[in-house]
């Protein structure tokens, strides 16, 4: 990082400029669970705890959002990290997708 000093009307300002780096940020995706008329709240909550490592309260809140809004982003991560979680939810009969 570099710093630049400026002065306006006797006030000293110091700005900080971030230099470009060669580090690429890994693109994050969302694991989305969709509402359906088949799975119970308890099954969705249990699945989010088991598959996504949610605590019970977090899983319950996600289940309520899924029910009321039709979907919920339940986990962020790289595609490679989310894919097995999505497949595990699908194996449990829960509709899940990964956004791109």
Q: Residue 6 pLDDT > 80, yes or no? A: no
**pLDDT single digits (tens) 63-72:** 999 999 999 9
- Kindly state the tokens that stand for 92: 């449990």
Output 70-75 pairs: Cβ under 8 A, ≥24 positions apart.
70/34, 70/35, 71/32, 71/33, 71/34, 71/35, 72/32, 72/33, 73/30, 73/31, 73/32, 73/99, 74/31, 74/32, 74/33, 74/48, 75/30, 75/31
CB 99 within 8 A of CB 32: yes
**pLDDT single digits (tens) 38-54:** 999 999 999 999 999 99
44-48-50-51 Cα dihedral, nearest 10 degrees = 120
For the whole model, what pTM was predicted?
0.74
Average pLDDT of the residues of the chain = 85
């Amino acid at each position: 990082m570099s710093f630049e000093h400026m002065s306006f009307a006797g006030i000293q300002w110091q700005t900080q400029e971030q230099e470009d780096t060669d580090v690429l940020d890994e693109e994050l995706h969302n694991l989305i669970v969709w509402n359906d008329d088949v799975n119970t709240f308890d099954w969705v909550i249990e699945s989010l705890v088991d598959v996504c490592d949610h605590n019970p309260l977090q899983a319950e809140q996600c289940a309520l959002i899924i029910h009321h809004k039709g979907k919920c982003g339940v986990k962020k991560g790289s595609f490679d990290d989310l894919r097995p979680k999505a497949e595990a939810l699908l194996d449990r009969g829960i509709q899940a997708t990964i956004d791109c």
